[in-house]
Structures are given as C-alpha cells and as structure tokens.
C-alpha cells in the first residue's frame, strides 16, 4: 500500500504581479533620463564635468568594473541591505538576488552553501565567493557539509559596502568552479575615526510532529576604525549565542530485543518515497551555538594609486547538539531514551539511537593584497589567502544516553590542520588603437587544498584523549592556471570579449586507513585543460544593451570527493562517506543571451541561458529511517542539461515618491540526459534545482528616518535523489517542499547615531523541508550605534 501526502502550491503568480508593478511611471528619454517637463520637447544639456576621487585616490571599483568582466551581474548595496534585509549573518545579504538560495537552517549555521541557476546546494564547488579578492569558498569539498561550505564568518555584515553576483563561467579570470557563478563582496575601510556596535535578538517559533517550542538567539557586535594619513585600520568583533530548532529526527531502530518497557509518544509519518510508514520517536541536533568572530584589517596607501592591505580573521565555535525523546513510559509517564522498549507489541533496542554531540572549532584566516588602481594604461594586483583549521574536533558518544551522561565511550572526529591557500597575480593593460580601445586582463592563479581527517575511539566522549585510530583520510589537490582576456570596443556600440584559461590540476598524497588498520595509498593524478570564453555586447542606445556569451569550464574533483572516507555518528545517525579517487572532472558548456533596459531610476533584464555538464560530479546520499544510517558517495553522471529564462527588475519611486520595487523570476528545466550508472535517473530533474524560483521586495521610505519593507521568496518543488523517487517532500530527508516565505522589516533612525530595526522572517509561518526542516516564524529586533 502506498502512502503519500499531497500539498498544493501555487505557481509564483504573486511574484509576477509584483514584478509588473516595476514598469509603471517610467518615461525614459534617449539618454536614459526621465523627461519631467510636461509639454516640452527640450532636453537639458549639462556642461562636461570631470569627477575625481577625494584626496587624489582612485575611486573604488568592483572586479566587474575594473576588469570589464562580461558576465551578467546583480548587486545589493549596504544601503539596500539596511533597508530591506534582516541581516544576522553575512550570507543573509544575498537572499533576495535572482535565483539564489543559501541553505541556512538556523542562526549560527556553519554549513551554508549557495545554490544558483544550474546548481543545487549539494554542489557547493560550482560557485566562488570572494571578499576583496580573498577566496571564502571552501573547495575542500562539493557538499553542504562543513568541508564544502563557504567561510561566510570571515566577513562582518557591518563592513560590507556591496555584494555583486556574476552568473555563469563567462570570465577567464575565474576557474571552472564558477560554473554557477561568482559572489564578490566589497568591504569598506574608514576615512576618519568611526565606532559602532549593535545588539540583535531573535525568537523563532517551532511546531513539528505536534511538538512546539520557541528558540532564541542573541548577537552582540562592535567595530572600531580610523584613518591616519595614508594608514587606515578597522577592527570588528561579534559574539553569538544561538539556539536552533531540531535539525534531525530519530525513527524506530530495526534491532529488536525481548521484554521491554511499554511506551507511548511515537508519531506516525510517511518516508520521503511515500511508500513506507515510519514512526518518529524524537528530535536530534538541537544546536546551542556560541561563536566569537574577530577581524583585523590594516591598509596603507603607498602612493595615491597603490594600496597594501592585510586581513586577519579568527573564528571560534563552541557548539553542542542535544536531543529530545518523544517516548514516554506507558505506566509512569517518564521520558524514555535508552534500553529495550515495547511499542504496539513489538520490541526495539534503542541502544545509542539518541545521542549528544559537541564541536570545538577555531579557524584562522589571513589575506594579503597589493593593488594598483590608476585607471591608466596599466594596473596590477597581487592577492593571497590562507585558511587554517587550527582546531576542528567533533565528539559524540557511542553508548546509550544514561551511560553517555557519565562520560561513556565515543568517537572523536578531527579536521585539525585542514585548510587551503591561494595566490593570484593579475594585470590589466588598456591600449588604444585605431580600431578601438582594448582592456586586456591576464593573470596567474595557484591554490592548494589539504585534507587531514581522522576519527578515533575514546573512552570518555566528553573529555577523553585520543584512543585507537578508526579511520584516516588525507590528501591534497593543487591547481596552477594562467589566463588572458581582451574586452575590445571595436565600435562605440559593440564590445567583443575573448579569453581563455589554461589549468593544470594535480591530486596527490592521498591515503585512506580503515578501522581494520589497512592503509591504501591512492594514486597521484594530473590533468591539463583549456577553457575558451567569448562574449559580444551591443549597446545601440543608452537605454538598451544586448549580450551574448558562451564559455567552456572544467570543475576538477575536490580533495574530499577523492580521498575522504569516514564513518561519522551524529545523534545516533551513522553517516558513511566513501571516497572516489577515479572521478573525472566536470566539463560545462554554458551560454547566455541577455537583454537589459535601463530606466531613469532602475533597470530591467531578461536572460535566456543554457548549460550542458558532462561527467557531472554529484554526491548521492541515501538514508534509511529503518536503520538510521546514511551512505554518501561521489559519482560521475554522464550528462545533465539545463535551460531556462530569468527576468529581473528594479525601480525607485514607483507611482509615489519613496516606493522602491525589485524582483525576479527564473524558470529552469534541468534534467539528467545520460547516466549509465543509474538508468532510472535518465529524464529526471537534477537534484535541488527547482523549475521555478522567484523573489520580490517592496520598500517604502515613509519619512527620511523611517523605512519599511516586505519581501517574498518562492521555490517550486525540488528533489534530493537523482532518480526523483523522493516524492514526499514534507518529512525529514524529504528535499523539496514548494514554499513561499514572506519577510518584513522596519527601520527607524532614532538619532544620527542610533538606529532601531525590527522584522519578521517567514511571517506566514510556512513549514517547509529541504532535507531538514527550515526556520519557521522568526522575530528580529536590533539596536545599532554608529559614531
């Protein structure tokens, strides 16, 4: 007998209606400016002006502007963030940009990869995230776990000036990990003495399986900075104390015993396949997170156009995961979380089904940069970064809760000394010729990723020293690349951009040791690939711009996909991760045609995109609530095709002064074309890439000091398995409830220095699952001080 849940979800009609309201009230002239003179055909002609930066310094440019990168770009500024987004952490800044999803399960979540147009949250290595040219993406892995998630915590929200998102791998300046796109964060340095601080509090409602609660979080931030002549500095610190909703759920184990305590409290459900009746008996991974983040930035203007900078970051995390058993003794009503139980006449041995866990983490980041910005014939820059997991240890018991409470046996999983470093050298040459100006950019890139992952048995899971080695996974990957790209404006209306990137990739020093003590030394590997890029832009008027782009890109396997093999137990759930040292690199062929129309106070864009990925690498995870175990492995899928369209627009002062609207809608058809390893997946949707995704924001500046906004985010149903057999999305491990989440925010400038903000995320209390249950209605209050 089949069991299935049916949930009706509307198409994003509401989003479309909000987008249509971007259009009214616009009368653009040829130069893209409004003509507000009624009955007049005259156009005001302004005298020519030359704008220079203050103190002789060149104006700050984004990477897109400086290197004339051809990709379609969407942006959010610091002012828009403050007016429209409830920002608790840096990753919140991009959540309303087109076709973006950050997998943020709770405040303080450290596993937050980005999903973009053609890639889901399980493909973190298909996007690149930078802050001032320093790589924040963790290319240790290609997953939504700790090894694949970006180091968002290395940037404080208060230092962000703007965030730009470039879609697709159309620039030779970035490697094949830009298949999905590039997130480029620009931060600011003080021009005079400044100080600031803030207090944020949140309260999140929770109701799953009939169990309700409220989880609170508090964050305290402070920043200090100044400029003294050519030297500037900034210091940011934050302290977060957060409580999350349950992240996992526990189901009846399969092992049986004799006798047992009669129990009640189990909640019936249907598994994600919609075919099996299951019983939830408790909640796990109820996180309590205490994080401290320290950030030091130093900058020195060697000359008015040459700047050196150094950034030092320290992130500390003390995190524990608890559990809550639904089971109660049928005779006494007391909670039951261990031993043999009897339910509906059947016996089950809970063993270590319920378990706590604990994280101790301290990560260091270093960023160095030397950049020239003359705007003249030649500019250059050198950047380097180092990320080191100084301490990264997880402890979990392997015994029943009553024994674990006394410090029973367990495991210690270590990622100590894991990390990476990068080096980039770039130049741009701007020659002029009889056939038009050129912007020739070129560079060299080097990166090295190192995995050190061990698991030990320990006699005391809370404090015990390392005992016998259970598993050991080690390895390195290295990429060296050279690239060149020329943006040639051969006609005032036409720009042709041609480029190429040559990458040499190596994987070496890979070893795997199992619990039986046997060590396998993996073979070293090397590969050399060239990726051509081409883009043609036509700007027939000041209002219109058309761009056609095509690019090839190669995404090489990450060190964890190749070499990580371990058995991790979290809250009684065993997660077995197997390495695959024979993986082939992904090869993507991407194309896009976009049309942009520039309004007097906004813009509209329509993009058509297409992508074929050959040998796509996908980490497939299977979960059985019967055995309470998951199995993960990376494999090549022969071919995946994605095509679709994306519309976005924004406009200020729509109908009435002070009303700003922005929004976007994306439709994507992403299917598996060929997969010899699993023929049943052919023709099915690519996991975690929905057909529809949309967002919209309406902001009203009520007065000079008071601003209110409302935002909506929509996603249609998606799948978590490559054969799309997970047809029931509304349960734990179900991946893809269609959801429509509405957020609100209000900001009031109390004084020149004090700002009070309040908001509600998920105001309609939408309940949706993306493997895990996501946050329900959350209230946010914030008080900021700036001097």
pLDDT in tens, 586-606: 999 999 999 999 999 999 999
Which range has the worst mean pLDDT, 12-26, 254-268, 342-356? Answer: 12-26
278 Cβ contact partners less than 8 Å away, ≥ 6 residues apart? 251, 252, 268, 269, 270, 271, 625, 626
Please report whether residue 166 resides in a domain.
yes
pLDDT of residue 313: 93
Q: Is residue 404 helix, strand or coil?
A: helix
Q: What percent of the chain has pLDDT over 90?
A: 77
Nearest C-alpha neighbor of 601 from the set 560, 533, 654:
654
Distance CA 256, CA 228 (A): 72
∠ CA 181-187-193, nearest 5°, is: 175
Which range has the worst mean pLDDT, 143-152, 520-529, 759-768? Answer: 143-152
Please report whether residue 56 resides in a domain.
no
Q: Tell whether the model's pLDDT for residue 55 goes beyond 60.
A: no
pLDDT of residue 776: 96
Q: Is residue 693 helix, strand or coil?
A: strand
Whole-angstrom CA distances from 766 to 25, 98, 694, 774, 775 are 34, 21, 16, 9, 9
3-state helix, strand, coil in the chain (%, to 5): 5, 55, 35
Please report whether residue 536 resides in a domain.
yes
Distance CA 759, CA 780 (A): 5
Token pair of 243 as six digits: 């409580």
pLDDT of residue 23: 41
pLDDT of residue 260: 85
Which range has the worst mean pLDDT, 58-67, 355-364, 698-707? Answer: 58-67
Distance CA 564, CA 36 (A): 64
**Residues paired with residue 113 on neighbouring β-strands, in sequence order:** none
In the predicted model, what is the mean pLDDT of the chain? 88
| Contact yes or no for 761/778 (Cβ under 8 A) | yes
Q: How many CA atoms lie within 13 A of 777 on its CB side?
A: 8
**Residues paired with residue 695 on neighbouring β-strands, in sequence order:** 664, 713
Identify the helix (H) or strand (E) that includes residue 19. Answer: helix 13-20
Tell me what the mean pLDDT of segment 278-302 comes to.
Answer: 95
| Cβ neighbour number for residue 685 with a 10 Å cutoff | 22
Q: Tell whether the model's pLDDT for residue 168 goes beyond 50.
A: yes
- For 245-275, write each residue's pLDDT tens digit: 999 999 988 766 677 899 999 999 999 999 8
Please report whether residue 44 resides in a domain.
no
| Contact yes or no for 497/485 (Cβ under 8 A) | yes
Tell me what the mean pLDDT of segment 671-678 comes to.
Answer: 93
Q: Domain count for the chain, please give it.
A: 1
∠ CA 485-486-488, nearest 5°, is: 160
What confidence tier does 31 reach under pLDDT thresholds 50, 70, 90?
Answer: very low
Distance CA 758, CA 606 (A): 34
Handedness of CA 611, 612, 616, 622 (dihedral sign): positive
Q: Tell whether the model's pLDDT for residue 56 goes beyond 80.
A: no
304 Cβ contact partners less than 8 Å away, ≥ 6 residues apart? 55, 56, 57, 58
**Residues paired with residue 586 on neighbouring β-strands, in sequence order:** 555
What confidence tier does 515 reach under pLDDT thresholds 50, 70, 90?
Answer: confident
Distance CA 537, CA 496 (A): 6
Give the burial class of 671: count Cβ atoms within 10 A of its Cβ; 0-12 exposed, 13-18 middle, 19 or more buried.
middle
Nearest C-alpha neighbor of 460 from the set 391, 517, 514, 399:
399
Q: How far is CA 463 from the centre of its chain?
A: 33
Handedness of CA 343, 348, 349, 350 (dihedral sign): negative
| Contact yes or no for 617/627 (Cβ under 8 A) | no
What confidence tier does 677 reach under pLDDT thresholds 50, 70, 90?
Answer: confident
Q: Tell whether the model's pLDDT for residue 28 goes beyond 60.
A: no
**What are the phi and psi torsion angles at 402 (to 5°)?**
-65, -35
- Alpha helix segments (H runs only) across 53-191: 63-66, 78-84
pLDDT of residue 580: 84
pLDDT of residue 665: 97
**Residues paired with residue 367 on neighbouring β-strands, in sequence order:** 311, 385
Compute the residue count for the chain: 787
625 or 181, higher pLDDT? 181
Which range has the worst mean pLDDT, 146-150, 352-356, 621-625? Answer: 621-625
Distance CA 371, CA 369 (A): 6
Distance CA 253, CA 343 (A): 12
| Cβ neighbour number for residue 608 with a 10 Å cutoff | 14
| Contact yes or no for 668/116 (Cβ under 8 A) | no
Identify the helix (H) or strand (E) that includes residue 781. Answer: strand 778-786
**Residues paired with residue 536 on neighbouring β-strands, in sequence order:** 496, 548
Q: How many CA atoms lie within 13 A of 316 on its CB side?
A: 8
What confidence tier does 60 reach under pLDDT thresholds 50, 70, 90?
Answer: low
- For 378-408, write each residue's pLDDT tens digit: 999 999 999 999 999 999 999 999 999 999 9
What confidence tier does 351 reach under pLDDT thresholds 50, 70, 90?
Answer: confident
List strands edge to edge, sheet with 160-167.
73-77, 160-167, 181-187, 127-131, 134-135
611 Cβ contact partners less than 8 Å away, ≥ 6 residues apart? 118, 168, 179, 588, 589, 590, 591, 641, 642, 643
Nearest C-alpha neighbor of 557 from the set 612, 622, 478, 621:
478
pLDDT of residue 43: 34
Please report whether residue 207 resides in a domain.
yes
Q: Tell whether the model's pLDDT for residue 629 goes beyond 80.
A: no
- For 457-472, write each residue's pLDDT tens digit: 999 999 999 999 999 9
What confidence tier does 568 reach under pLDDT thresholds 50, 70, 90?
Answer: very low
pLDDT of residue 566: 59
Provide the CATH number for the domain around residue 345: 2.40.170.20
∠ CA 462-145-201, nearest 5°, is: 75
* Site of tokens 């004799």: 258
| pTM as predicted | 0.88
Q: Tell whether the model's pLDDT for residue 165 goes beyond 70.
A: yes
3-state secondary structure 489-506: EEECCEEEEEEEEEEEEE
Q: What is the DSSP string of 134-149?
A: EE---TT-SSSSTTTS
Q: Tell whether the model's pLDDT for residue 33 goes beyond 60.
A: no
Q: Tell whether the model's pLDDT for residue 30 goes beyond 50.
A: no
pLDDT of residue 330: 93
Distance CA 82, CA 711 (A): 14
Q: What DSSP state is assigned to residue 614?
A: E
What confidence tier does 42 reach under pLDDT thresholds 50, 70, 90?
Answer: very low
Please report whether residue 288 resides in a domain.
yes
Which range has the worst mean pLDDT, 104-108, 192-196, 735-739? Answer: 735-739
Token pair of 33 as six digits: 């400016």
Q: How many CA atoms lie within 13 A of 66 on its CB side?
A: 24
Distance CA 563, CA 475 (A): 6
Please report whether residue 51 resides in a domain.
no
- Domain of 69 in residue numbering reads as 13-24+65-786
pLDDT of residue 34: 37
What confidence tier does 69 reach under pLDDT thresholds 50, 70, 90?
Answer: confident
782 or 61, higher pLDDT? 782
What confidence tier does 699 reach under pLDDT thresholds 50, 70, 90?
Answer: very high
pLDDT of residue 40: 36
64 or 509, higher pLDDT? 509
Identify the helix (H) or strand (E) that includes residue 290. Answer: strand 277-303
Distance CA 417, CA 489 (A): 48
Please report whether residue 108 resides in a domain.
yes
640 Cβ contact partners less than 8 Å away, ≥ 6 residues apart? 612, 613, 616, 670, 671, 672, 673, 686
């Amino acid at each position: 007998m089949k069991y299935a849940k049916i949930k009706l979800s509307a198409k994003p009609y509401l989003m479309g209606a909000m987008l249509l309201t971007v259009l009214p009230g616009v009368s653009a002239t040829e130069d893209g400016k409004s003509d507000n003179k009624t009955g007049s055909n005259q156009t005001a002609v302004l005298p020519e002006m030359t704008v220079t930066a203050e103190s002789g310094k060149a104006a700050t440019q984004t990477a897109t502007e400086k290197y004339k990168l051809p990709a379609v770009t969407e942006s959010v500024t610091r002012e828009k963030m403050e007016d429209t987004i409830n920002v608790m952490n840096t990753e919140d800044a991009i959540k309303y940009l087109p076709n973006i999803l950050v997998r943020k399960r709770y405040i303080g979540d450290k596993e937050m990869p980005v999903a973009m147009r053609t890639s889901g949250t399980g493909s973190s290595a298909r996007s690149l995230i930078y802050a001032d040219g320093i790589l924040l993406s963790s290319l240790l892995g290609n997953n939504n776990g700790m090894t694949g998630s970006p180091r968002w915590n290395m940037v404080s929200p208060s230092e962000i000036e703007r965030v730009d998102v470039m879609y697709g791998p159309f620039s030779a300046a970035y490697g094949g990990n830009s298949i999905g796109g590039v997130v480029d964060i620009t931060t600011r340095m003080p021009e005079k003495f400044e100080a600031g601080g803030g207090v944020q509090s949140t309260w999140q409602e929770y109701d799953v399986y009939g169990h309700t609660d409220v989880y609170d979080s508090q964050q305290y931030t402070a920043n200090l900075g100044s400029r003294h002549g050519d030297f500037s500095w900034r210091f940011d610190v934050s302290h977060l104390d957060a409580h999350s909703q349950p992240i996992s759920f526990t189901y009846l184990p399969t092992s049986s015993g004799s006798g047992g305590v009669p129990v009640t409290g189990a909640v019936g459900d249907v598994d994600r396949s919609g075919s099996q009746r299951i019983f939830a008996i408790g909640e796990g991974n109820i996180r309590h997170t205490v994080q401290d983040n320290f950030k030091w930035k130093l900058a020195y203007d060697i000359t008015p156009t040459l700047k050196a900078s150094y950034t030092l970051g320290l992130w500390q995390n003390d995190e524990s995961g608890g559990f809550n058993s639904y089971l109660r003794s049928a005779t006494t009503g007391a909670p039951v979380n261990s031993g043999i139980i009897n339910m509906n006449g059947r016996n089950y041995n809970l063993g270590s089904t319920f378990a706590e866990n604990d994280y101790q983490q301290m990560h260091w980041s270093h960023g160095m940069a030397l950049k020239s910005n003359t705007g003249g014939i030649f500019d250059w820059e050198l950047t380097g970064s180092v990320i080191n997991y100084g301490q990264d240890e997880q402890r979990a018991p392997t015994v029943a809760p009553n024994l674990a409470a006394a410090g029973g046996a367990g495991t210690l999983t270590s990622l100590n000394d894991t990390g990476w470093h990068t080096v980039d050298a770039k130049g741009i040459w701007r020659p002029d010729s009889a056939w038009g100006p050129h912007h020739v950019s070129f560079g060299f890139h080097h990166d090295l990723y190192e995995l050190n992952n061990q698991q030990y048995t320990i006699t005391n899971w809370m404090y015990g020293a390392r005992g016998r080695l259970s598993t050991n996974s080690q390895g390195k990957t290295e990429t060296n690349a050279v690239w060149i790209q020329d943006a040639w404006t051969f006609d005032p209306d036409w720009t042709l951009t041609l480029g190429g990137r040559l990458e040499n990739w190596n994987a070496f020093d890979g070893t795997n040791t199992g619990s039986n003590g046997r060590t396998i030394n993996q073979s070293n590997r090397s590969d050399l690939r060239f990726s051509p890029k081409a883009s043609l832009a036509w700007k027939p008027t000041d209002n219109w711009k058309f761009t056609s782009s095509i690019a090839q890109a190669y995404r090489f396997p990450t060190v964890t996909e190749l070499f990580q093999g371990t058995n991790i137990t979290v809250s009684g759930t065993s997660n077995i991760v197997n390495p695959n040292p024979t993986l082939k690199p992904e090869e993507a062929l991407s194309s896009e045609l976009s049309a942009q129309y520039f309004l007097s106070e906004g813009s509209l864009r329509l993009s058509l995109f297409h992508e074929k990925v050959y040998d796509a690498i996908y980490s497939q995870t299977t979960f059985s609530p019967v055995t309470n175990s998951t199995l993960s492995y990376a494999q090549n899928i022969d071919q995946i095709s994605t095509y679709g369209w994306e519309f976005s627009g924004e406009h200020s002062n729509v109908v009435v002064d002070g009303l700003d609207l922005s929004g976007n809608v994306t439709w994507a058809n992403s299917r598996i074309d060929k997969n010899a390893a699993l023929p049943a997946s052919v023709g099915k949707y690519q996991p975690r890439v929905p057909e529809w995704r949309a967002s919209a924001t309406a902001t009203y500046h009520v007065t000079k000091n008071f601003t209110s906004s409302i935002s909506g985010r929509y996603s249609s149903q998606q799948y978590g398995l490559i054969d799309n057999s997970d047809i029931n999305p509304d349960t734990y491990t179900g991946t893809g409830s269609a959801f429509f989440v509405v957020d609100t925010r209000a900001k009031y400038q109390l004084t020149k220095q004090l700002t009070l903000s309040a908001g509600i995320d998920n105001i309609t209390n939408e309940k949706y699952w993306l493997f895990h249950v996501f946050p329900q209605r959350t209230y946010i209050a914030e008080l900021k001080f700036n001097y």
